[in-house]
């Protein structure tokens, strides 16, 4: 039995005794979260690496320094002002860029007239745009596929969770932790890759469209006053012409004997 004389000392000791802080759960590392996500984390990891590669590659290819370098534009403008179209063709061929390729295509078909030249320029621009957008479209594919991969991990995780729930019951929730973690991590990882992939895809698509439009305007300004009449049937450059006169038609006309 505790006497009243000792009661103040007991209360004072209770107050002075420090309260132990609650034990916090161990923090998970990135590798722990990756392992918790299950097998779907491996294809998601591959998609993330591919996403970074396509983003960097797309923005580098669609930059103005890559599409229409100022040095190329100024050099071709000077050659066009002097009327030195063979040198312009040679420069465009020796210094490849998107702008030079379009101008070189136009000069190659310039001897065939204005209509053929404009059609060839438009075809080359469409080919360039299709090539750039084709690469950028892989970001859209990644943005669509990664949530589906994460959803697959969610379904498999739920299957494991219900299987453990059926065998162990609700009395041992610790056994469900791994399956529930796989469900949440797989879904979050898929969305984590899909969102920036879609954002970068639309940004890159607008960037490509602007770059292609700029190339079209620069090329049109060069060929605005092009002398098609003077260069009619006079090929520019050394590009090989594959269509020749039919072999059964000869230039030699036979004269009847007198």
- List pLDDT tens digits, range 149-162: 988 888 877 777 67
pLDDT at site 11 = 47
Q: Is the pLDDT of residue 208 over 90?
A: yes
* DSSP state at residue 249: -
Number of other CB atoms surrounding residue 202 within 10 Å: 13
**C-alpha–C-alpha distance, residues 93 and 254, integer Å:** 43
Report, as an integer, the average pLDDT of 85-92.
93
**C-alpha–C-alpha distance, residues 116 and 109, integer Å:** 6
Report, as an integer, the average pLDDT of 223-245.
81
Give the alpha-carbon dihedral of 244, 247, 248, 251, to 10 degrees.
70
Alpha carbon of residue 107 to chain centroid: 31
Percent helix / strand / coil, the chain, rounded to 5: 70, 0, 30
Which residues, 6+ apart, have CB-to-CB distance to 145 below 8 Å?
47
**C-alpha–C-alpha distance, residues 108 and 248, integer Å:** 27
pLDDT at site 7 = 47
Report, as an integer, the average pLDDT of 10-18.
50
Contact 173, 27 (CB under 8 A): no
Tell me which residue of 245, 222, 227 sits closest to 105, measured CA to CA.
222
**C-alpha–C-alpha distance, residues 182 and 161, integer Å:** 10
Question: pLDDT band for position 182 (50/70/90)?
Answer: low
* pLDDT, averaged across the chain: 82
Question: pLDDT band for position 8 (50/70/90)?
Answer: low
pLDDT at site 66 = 92
**Could you tell me where the DSSP H helices lie in 83-176?**
85-94, 98-108, 114-168
DSSP 56-80: HHHHHHTSHHHHS-HHHHHHHHHHH
Number of other CB atoms surrounding residue 145 within 10 Å: 17
Hey, what are 91's tokens? Answer: 């420069």
Q: Is the pLDDT of residue 23 over 80?
A: no
**C-alpha–C-alpha distance, residues 242 and 108, integer Å:** 13
Contact 85, 79 (CB under 8 A): yes
Hey, what are 77's tokens? Answer: 């403008």
Number of other CB atoms surrounding residue 66 within 10 Å: 14
pLDDT at site 38 = 73
Report, as an integer, the average pLDDT of 5-15.
51
Record the pTM.
0.75
């Amino acid at each position: 039995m505790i006497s009243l004389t000792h009661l103040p000392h007991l209360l004072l000791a209770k107050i002075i005794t420090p309260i132990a802080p609650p034990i916090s759960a161990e923090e998970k590392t990135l590798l722990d979260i990756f392992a918790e996500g299950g097998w779907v984390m491996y294809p998601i990891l591959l998609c993330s690496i591919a996403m970074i590669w396509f983003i960097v590659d797309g923005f580098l290819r669609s930059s103005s320094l890559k599409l229409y370098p100022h040095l190329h534009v100024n050099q071709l403008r000077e050659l066009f002002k002097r009327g030195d179209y063979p040198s312009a063709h040679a420069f465009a061929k020796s210094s490849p860029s998107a702008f030079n390729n379009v101008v070189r295509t136009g000069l190659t078909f310039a001897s065939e007239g204005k209509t053929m030249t404009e059609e060839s320029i438009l075809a080359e621009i469409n080919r360039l745009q299709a090539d750039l957008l084709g690469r950028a479209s892989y970001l859209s594919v990644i943005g669509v596929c990664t949530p589906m991969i994460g959803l697959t991990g969610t379904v498999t995780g739920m299957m494991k969770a219900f299987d453990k729930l059926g065998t162990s019951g609700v009395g041992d929730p610790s056994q469900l932790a791994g399956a529930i973690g796989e469900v949440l991590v797989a879904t979050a990882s898929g969305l984590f890759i899909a969102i920036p992939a879609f954002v970068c895809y639309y940004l890159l698509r607008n960037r490509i469209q602007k770059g292609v439009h700029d190339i079209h305007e620069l090329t049109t300004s060069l060929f605005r006053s092009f002398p098609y009449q003077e260069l009619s049937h006079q090929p520019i450059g050394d590009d090989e012409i594959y269509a020749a006169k039919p072999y059964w038609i000869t230039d030699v006309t036979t004269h009847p004997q007198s």
